[in-house]
Amino acid sequence: MQFVIQHTDRSCKARAAMLFTEHGTVETPIFMPVGTLGTVKTVSPRELQEVGARMILANTYHLYLKPGLTVLQHFGGLHRFNGWSGPILTDSGGFQVYSLDELKEIREDGVEFRSHWDGSRHFFTPEKVVDIQRIIGSDILMVLDQCIANPSDYASARQAHELTLRWAERSRERFLQTEPVYGYQQFQFGIVQGGVYADLRRESVHRLVAIGFEGYAIGGLAVGENPETRNEMTDLCTHILPEERPRYLMGVGKPNDVLDAIERGVDMFDCVIPTRNARNGTVFTPDGKLVIRNARYKMDNRPIQSDCNCFTCRHFSRAYIRHMFSVNEVLGLRLATIHNLAFYMKLVQQARKAVLEDRFGAFKSAFLERYVKNGSRGE
């Protein structure tokens, strides 16, 4: 995988780079909107392009269940099925190991899921997860891992970490033994686990790097730990991860979390926060979040954010969006989603620009000062 670092900020580990895939080049730091089931909820590919999204995330486990591999293979992969022509990264199902509490059973050879749609049983091995992602045709494949809640006791964290490493070896082997199904290159990322334990995290990095992946994800964060611990874990991982490979912090996060991690040398992010918050009627602005469904916006003829150039802010008032939520019109979900994604895209674009100009620290301070001033407190 070609990954070219253009510049690292003089005062921190933040870096600006280019990641090349056959579906397009991506400038990092990048935020990937979450399109679990092949669509980023409520928006079309055209709207994703318009908000500045360049790469999206989809989910192996969910796509395997619906629409299923027969359909995806028939269409020549997810890109041709869902109309998104840019790069796609697929998570492995490892997060579902964590989130589908009642519906899974973990064994040495893999994990058995029970479908949340119909209760049917499906056994995922590390190898099978590679095979599925070959058929999905994602540009970046994630290995199957075991993600656990934080804090977990040391023994549990160690166990999950060890299993993740054994699975990582099997995943890489399968990846190297197989070819892309649709002719374009695919890349595979390993996932660092180890909970909140520095020694496990370090060991995880070293052993994954020894296996050798095109990029490395930091998993098992944003699952219960406090921000200080998250930053500490991120910091120690990026400290020893290879400079020249992309680093992806999975499932993070709030705007301030994203900036914290960029500062620590992370290149890639995904999170449901902008899209899920939007559907709950909460929108982001440089002055903090607004609960747009609140009655206080009933007469507010300003856009969500006055200097935002997104489709929503160019055409609609806070009052209109509030009305949409108030009468349950789905257009409201979309308008809020478009704005929140535009906000996140602009955030990482601005961060990138700041890195290129060696002023990431100042940018971050200025952003946070304004963002929390009005009571948002980085929430």
Among all residues, which ones are annotated catalytic? 91, 270
Q: Which residues contact 173 (CB under 8 A, 6 or more apart)?
A: 127
Beta bridge partners of 140: 89, 187
Cα radius of gyration rounded to whole Å, the chain: 20
- Minimum CB separation of residue 52 from a second copy in Å reads 18
Answer for which of 81, 98, 248, 344 binds a second copy (CB under 8 A) is 81
Q: Which stretch binds a second copy (CB under 8 A): 71-79, 140-148, 155-163, 351-359?
A: 71-79
Within positions 250 to 269, which residues make up the interface with a second copy, using CB under 8 A? none
Which conformational region is residue 143 in: left (phi greater than 0), alpha (psi within -120 to 50 degrees), or beta? Answer: beta
Q: What angle do CA 282, 301, 327 make, to 5 degrees?
A: 55
361 lines the binding site for a second copy (CB under 8 A): no
* Rounded Cα gap, residues 309 and 300, in angstroms: 18
Contacts of 225 (CB under 8 A, 6+ apart): 150, 151, 196, 233
Q: What six digits make up the tokens of 78? A: 């997810």
Shortest Cβ distance from residue 282 to a second copy (Å)?
18
Binding mask 292-331 for a second copy (x = CB under 8 A): ------xx-x---------x---xxx-xx--xx-xx-xxx
Nearer to a second copy, 88 or 249 (CB): 88
Q: Which of 18, 22, 74, 243 binds a second copy (CB under 8 A)?
A: 74
Least distance from a second copy to the Cβ atom of residue 107, Å: 28
Is residue 48 near a second copy by the rule CB under 8 A? no
Please identify, using beta-carbon distances, which residue of 66 and 206 lies nearer to a second copy: 66
Nearer to a second copy, 88 or 351 (CB): 88
Q: In terms of C-beta density within 10 A (0-12 exposed, 13-18 middle, 19 or more buried), how is residue 337 classed? A: buried
Which one, 8 or 317, has the nearer CB to a second copy?
317
Largest CA distance in the chain: 61
Closest contact distance (angstroms) between CB of 150 and a second copy is: 30
Tally the residues of the chain. 379
Supply the minimum distance, in Å, between the C-beta of residue 309 and a second copy: 15
For a second copy, the closer CB: 20 or 320: 320
Alpha carbon distances (Å) from 189 to 142, 211, 313, 370: 5, 11, 37, 35
41 binds a second copy (CB under 8 A): yes
- 22 touching a second copy, by CB under 8 A: no
Contacts of 77 (CB under 8 A, 6+ apart): 135, 136, 137, 181, 182
Residue in 4, 6, 22, 71 binding a second copy, rule: CB under 8 A? 71
Closer residue to a second copy (CB): 240 or 331: 331
20 touches a second copy by CB under 8 A: no
Is there a contact between 137 and 180 (Cβ–Cβ < 8 Å)? yes
- Out of 26, 43, 97, 223, which residue is the one contacting a second copy (CB under 8 A)? 43
Stretch that binds a second copy, among 73-81, 94-102, 183-191, 213-221 (CB under 8 A): 73-81
What is the Cα–Cα distance from 158 to 144, expressed in whole angstroms?
17
DSSP letters along 49-102, please?
Answer: HHHT---EEEEHHHHHHTT-HHHHHHHTSHHHHH---S-EEEE-SHHHHHH-GG
CA separation for the pair 315, 304 (Å, rounded):
10
DSSP-derived secondary structure letter, 34: B
- CB closer to a second copy, 125 vs 326: 326
18 binds a second copy (CB under 8 A): no
**Residue 79 binds to a second copy (criterion: CB under 8 A):** no
Size, binding site for a second copy by CB under 8 A: 37
Binding site for a second copy (CB under 8 A): 37-39, 41-46, 66-67, 70-71, 74-75, 81-83, 298-299, 301, 311, 315-317, 319-320, 323-324, 326-327, 329-331, 333-335
